[in-house]
Structures are given as structure tokens and as C-alpha cells.
Amino acid sequence: MKKNTLFIVLLGCIITTLSAQKPMDSIALQEDFKIFENILKKGHPSLYEYVNKDSLDYLFKNTKDILNTNTSDIDLYKKMVHITNQIRDGHLLLFAPNTLKTDEYYFPLILKIIDSHFYADTDDFGIPIGSKIKSINGIESSRILEKLKKYSSTDGYNITKKLRDIELKFGLFYAYEYGLTRQFSVEYTEPNGANKTLSIEAESFTKVKLRNTKRSSYFANFHYQKNGFDFFNAYINKKDPYVYYKDGLSTAVLVVNSFGLDIRAFKSKLIKIFKEINKKEIRHLIIDVRNNDGGFRPNALHLYSFIAKNTFKQNISEYVISLTVPEKKHATRTFLNEKEFLTDRFKNHPEYDGWKLSFDDLEAIMVPDRNRFKGKVYVLTSGTTFSAASTFAINSKNDPNITLIGEETGGGYYLLNGQFPVYYELPNSKIIMVMSMVRVENYVIDKTVKKGSGVLPDKYIKLSVDNLIKGKDPLLDYLFRLIKG
């Protein structure tokens, strides 16, 4: 489509904003929005957990009234995101249509959020690592952060997942909120206190993605490695579990960045790793799931079985409000068989408003593995720790012999929605929607945790600006000093 160029004079710089939205008439808007509403009301198992029915109905009605006038696909997307943000379900996802060519005009700086402020996470464009970003195109960073939070879904009232998402997808979310921009005026304060303003041109997503591998917050310096693609690919982006050892401390660090691997292959890798750990007579084990956003639940259970002393529990119940996929003609993909996983599995367990299983059908594998580790265990968490990784953190939290260190997980403590994700494409706007149809109530021991929280660490340790500048991992640094005594 033809692009219109709008020139705005701001802070003495010329800022170019590009329009790349598909106009839509009110009939098409209303049709897509009705499908969106039906999917939620007919299939979402926790729709009113964090927002009451009257408030949500008002949001739906108010949005319908606004959509009576012609607008664009991106505007519709933003209206939907406003609603899903109130539902507070980290597995309820919306993806904007690809008419917004964010891959061509991406905000180029790599940012880290510390204490709700943006800091440069690389030294690109002559901006030193640790420089505080004060404003972008004349808009204060604090205001930008608040505006972008709605684009990241999270369980309950948790904020850590939103912050970690915004760090990684800042350019995308910024484009959703403020439109495509060719050039950015960035006001910042260097670590030495000097205030500066720099005009930076937008770059392609590919360039920015490559620059992302150089984040100081990936802590290559702490591991005496060179920061860049090789370190990122070998340590941060590696999906298979891997282990390394801290000489002189009888300590192993097991990094598990994903539970989304083949279940049998994952279990086989764990057996090999724990045999090696036990053969070395390691006394301290650190399990790092800070970059793990989930995957298959059996993998999380298998990992925990290698550190569990006794049989354990994970789920109290599973609940659905529909035995079939709502608005099925608009569904593009499901990962599990609808009849087998929904209809046949739940139909003999009716509740007054749905169907509920009050048992966990994976209990058979919730037993200690014969190769289990018998020393002291620490688990590292972050806001990225989500879904199956968060349930692993819950099991660890339930064990008084395991210490959780880091920040609150992105996954819910008491409940989450998952297990049966359905992908949709709305017919007119081409907005992609993902909804999980099963509500899971977690088995937890500490009932004093506030509703809507993630899994809380036993020892909260945050990244400081000084850590960022030096590339020092504060969690591992704390543990290595603790173990050393």
C-alpha cells in the first residue's frame, strides 16, 4: 500500500513518521471484534478472575461503539490489547497484522529496564552502557514504559514479565504505540552525569536482532567470554540443557533455557547430566531457569524429579468451560487433538459451569529419580520464567531445602491457563490470537502469597546499573560468594 510521510519538528530535529495501516470499514471491524468476543466468552476458562463481568461487558460494549466508525487494523488491534490486558492471562496473546512493517523501521537501541528506567545495554552509537534514557522523540521514558505495558500479557498483576518482554521487543511495541518512525531523538544521561541528545536513524529488525546478542546483561564478561553472537548462541539461545562447573567450589550450574524439547530426548539429556554431576561428587547445584519461558510440563516434572527427595504434587485441578474449540472455522492450529484432550478427557467430570478434573494424570512421574542430586540446590528465576518453567519454580518453592533466588516469575503462583492453546486468525484484519482453554490450579504450600502474584523468590536480588556496566551477574556472584563462605 502507499505510504504517507508526516514531518514533525521536535527538539530541533526532523522526526519522520510513516503510516502503514490498512483502513477498515465499520462492518469488517465489528465482524472481527465479535469473533474475538465470542472466542473469549465461549472458551476462556478464567475470564472473570481479575476483572468482574460487568466491567468486562462495559469494555466490550464501549469498544463496539467506537468501532462504528471506520478506522484501521492496527487501531482494532490496540483496542483488543486493551481488553486482554484487563483479563491478565499470560497465555492469551494477540499479534498485530503484518501491515505494520516493523521489520524495516525498528528502534535501534538495545535497552535494559532497571527500577522502571531504561538504560543502554550495549555501547552502540557512542552511547555508553548504563546510560539512562530520559526521553525518545520528546516523550519521557516513564510515560513510554507505561504505554507499552499493555502489549505484554502476564499472569495476574505480575509486572516482571512485562518488563522483560518490553526489553526484548521494545522496537515492536514502540511502533504499535507511536507508529513507524525513520528517526529518533534520544535524550540520555551518561554514567558520568553528562546529559546528551542524539539523533538516530531507524534500522531493520535483522540489524537490531544481531546487536541484541551483545547485551551486557547477558554477562559474558562475568564468564570471561567475549560478548557477541558466539556467546549468545552457546549460552543464552541454547535450548538443550547444559552444565558447567565452578572450580574450587564443588558447584555445578545447570542452565535450562527451555522445556519445549522432545520429552524423551530431554529426559535422556538430564540423566546424562546428573550422572556426570554425581560422579564428580558435586555438593552445590545451581539450576538457572531465568531465560526459560516454558514448554512441555512433563519436562519440568522430569527436571524436578532429579532434585526431589520425596514424591511430589503439581496440579490440584484442571478446568474448562467448553469441550470444543469455539469459533472453530477461524482456528488455524491446535497442537493437541480436540476430541481426545478436551471432549473425551473432561466430559465425565461436569461442574455447574464447566468441566473439572480434580486429579493430576501425570502423578506417576512425580517421584524422585534414581540419579537424583542429594546436595544443596538453588534455583535462579526472573520475569521471563513462565508457564512450565514457573511451575518448576513452584515445586522448588514448596521444598524448604531449595532456595529460590532472583526476581518474581512471570507465571502465576496460584493458577495459570495453558495446556490446550488454539491459534486463530481474524478474517478481515488478519490479527492473530492465541487462547489456551484449560485453567490449572497449582499445588502450593504457602497460602499467604497475594493473589495475582508470580512465584516469589526466597532471596530477591536485582540487577544494578553498576552490574550492567561491568557485565556482572549479581545472582551467580552472590551464590559463588555464599558457597565460598
Residue corresponding to grid cell 514479565: 161
User: What pLDDT, on the 0 to 100 scale, is given for residue 425?
Assistant: 96
- Residues 6+ positions from 314 with CB-CB distance below 8 Å: 297, 301, 360, 362, 366, 391, 394, 395, 442, 443
Helix (H) or strand (E) holding 76: helix 73-87
Residue 27 is predicted with a pLDDT of 93
CA 386 to chain centre: 6
**For residue 72, what pLDDT is reported?**
86
What's the pLDDT score for residue 20? 58
Phi, psi of 91 (to 5 degrees): -95, 0
Q: Which residues, in sequence order, are CB contacts of 387 under 8 Å at separation 6+? A: 90, 91, 259, 293, 294, 295, 411, 416, 418
Looking at residue 2, its pLDDT comes to: 35
β-strand partners of 416? 440
Measured in degrees and rounded to the nearest 5, phi and psi for residue 48 equal -110, 25
CA distance linking residue 156 with residue 86, whole number of Å? 9
pLDDT for position 167: 96
Q: 259: which residues sit within 8 A by CB, 6+ positions away?
A: 266, 292, 294, 295, 296, 297, 299, 300, 303, 387, 388, 389, 392
Stretches where the chain sits below pLDDT 50 are 1-19
Q: Is 303 exposed, middle or buried (0-12, 13-18, 19+ CB in 10 A)?
A: buried
Phi, psi (5° rounding) for residue 471? 70, 35
pTM for this predicted structure: 0.92
Phi/psi of residue 247, nearest 5 degrees: -60, 135
Residue 146, Cβ neighbours under 10 Å: how many?
11
Q: Kind and range of the H or E element at 361?
A: none
Contact, 67 vs 29, CB < 8 A?
yes
Return the DSSP state at 313. Answer: -
What was the pLDDT predicted at 9? 27
Residue 2's Cβ-count burial label (10 Å; 0-12, 13-18, 19+) is: exposed
- Residue 485 and residue 480: Cα distance in Å, rounded? 9
- DSSP of 224-276, one letter per residue? T---SHHHIIIIIS--S-EEEEETTTTEEEEE---B-S-HHHHHHHHHHHHHH
418 touches 438 (CB < 8 A): yes
Q: What is the structure's pLDDT at 100? A: 67
